[in-house]
Amino acid sequence: MSRPVSRFAIIGALLKKELKAYTRDTVYLALTLLVLVAVPVVFRLLPDSVEETITLAVSPPVAEMVDEAKDALRELGAADERLSALDDSDLAEEHEGMVLVEFDDPERMKDVISGTLEAWRTEDGAVVYRGEGGDRPEGAERVTVQVGIEFPRRFISDVASGERDVTVTVYSDAGVPEEIKGAMRSFVREAAYQLAGEQLPVDLPAEEMIILGEDRAGEQVTLQQKMRPLLLFMILMMETFSMASLVSTEVLQRTVTAVLVTPAKVGDFLAAKTIFGTVMSLSQALIVLALIGGVTSQNWSVMLATLLIGSVMFTGVAMFVGSAGKDFMGQLFYAMLFTIPLLIPTISVMFPGSAAPWVRLIPTYPVIDVLVRSTIHGAGWADVWPSLLYATAWLTMLYGAGVVALKRKVESL
């Protein structure tokens, strides 16, 4: 009399079958290996620093405006103290966070800002130019200008004499934030009063700077840091396609009916699919995480829990997609149909800020939110447990839908 086979032994046998089927699918196996190699390589090629300095260009050079102003002010009868004050002006002084570059020709300054002309600054501070096909100047540093200010050559003398129709043109690259443009306009106004020897027309109140939250001045988030949670999320999602392909193949070829004539039950089949999909997705994410970094003694448990939730969530999606597809193209269509909306919250990684309420309703939002906060900002359990609870609720719904859909499909064969 044969002994009854335990459920664990049956599920173990089904897992071996899943692994063999997975390794025989050369397309998805090759893609998996390619992704595991390519993702860390791409991550290492991403910039790991942030340029926090604004390069400001002015034309004409400040020295020329000062020399012209001296002659004009002498004709107006200005005192020697007033003239010597112009030499003490710090308009051309480089402040923290700002590099000043002076151009003789405003047209060349505009070409440099628009990117049609390269500007290089030599060791003695002179600016040289390189057009298309030209040689790189030796011992010079490339200058990338974001904002440029074109002053009238009589700017100082006109302001000092009280002229009202003084026009200063501010040029900026299309990618410069609006707050930087506003700061440059304020800089022009302050420079006008300073060079004219006048006080600002307002009394500034005493101020005390208090920064709420984490001050990241000097520690801006790099592109590498932004892409780390996004890459981990993509690894979790990619397993949806391979897992859905395995499910769809077994359903279409009716392999599952052959499995069910053995002592295995539908519950064993679903358990094996769940375990295999979760382990494959989680293991790949952990491999990539080990290669690209981001784990600390404070966030490792949060990261593990988040990746586990994401793995089970996408396994449920894969089971639902695999049971719905009637052929390879149909399975691929359903996979894209379900995964593309789930990618929308990842935009919050590249463009941080308050996500729209409808974005927060997408099931994957709490997953990517926790990945961002734990890898970039070092958040712990006390900070992310509401998001993990929210993700678990969505996990229950998506996984439950996948199990029900696949169970009905199997029972209908």
Instruction: Reply yes or no on whether the pLDDT at 78 is more than 80.
Output: no
Across 140-148, average pLDDT: 76
Choice among 197-211, 281-295, 348-362 with the minimum mean pLDDT: 197-211
Q: Which residue has the higher pLDDT, 178 or 108?
A: 108
Q: Which residue has the higher pLDDT, 167 or 73?
A: 167
Across 329-337, average pLDDT: 76
HEC assignment per residue over 64-106: HHHHHHHHHHHHCCCCHHHHHHHHCCCCCCCCCCEEEEECCCH
Quick one: angle between helices 26-45 and 7-24, nearest 10?
80
Look-up: residue for tokens 């020697």?
80
Instruction: Reply yes or no on whether the pLDDT at 7 is more than 80.
Output: no
363 CB neighbour count, 10 Å cutoff:
19
Distances (CA, A) of 145 to 98, 120, 134, 151, 229: 11, 11, 20, 17, 31
Q: Which residue has the higher pLDDT, 124 or 394?
A: 394
Q: Which residue has the higher pLDDT, 69 or 281?
A: 281
Q: Which residue has the higher pLDDT, 45 or 113?
A: 45
67-75 contacts at long range (C-beta below 8 A, 24 or more positions apart): 68/153, 68/154, 68/156, 68/157, 69/154, 69/155, 69/156, 69/157, 69/160, 69/195, 72/154, 72/156, 72/157, 72/160, 72/161, 73/157, 73/160
Across 401-407, average pLDDT: 88
Q: Which residue has the higher pLDDT, 247 or 185?
A: 247
Most confident of 116-130, 254-268, 335-349, 379-393: 379-393
> Residue 218's pLDDT is what?
47
> Residue 409's pLDDT is what?
83
38-56 residue pLDDT tens: 888 888 888 776 666 677 7
Across 256-267, average pLDDT: 78
Instruction: Reply yes or no on whether the pLDDT at 215 is more than 50.
Output: no
Tell me the percentage of the chain whose pLDDT exceeds 70: 71
> Over the chain, what is the mean pLDDT?
76
Taking the chain, what is the end-to-end CA distance rounded to the nearest angstrom?
A: 32
Single-letter amino acid code for the residue at 182: G
Instruction: Reply yes or no on whether the pLDDT at 309 is more than 90.
Output: yes
Look-up: residue for tokens 């930087």?
180
CA gap 269, 11 in Å, rounded: 7
Across 126-148, average pLDDT: 68
Instruction: Reply yes or no on whether the pLDDT at 306 is more than 90.
Output: yes
CA gap 224, 157 in Å, rounded: 49
Tell me the percentage of the chain whose pLDDT exceeds 90: 11
Considering only CA atoms, which of 199, 190, 200, 201 is closest in space to residue 168?
190
> Residue 367's pLDDT is what?
92
* Residues pairing with 128 in the sheet: 120
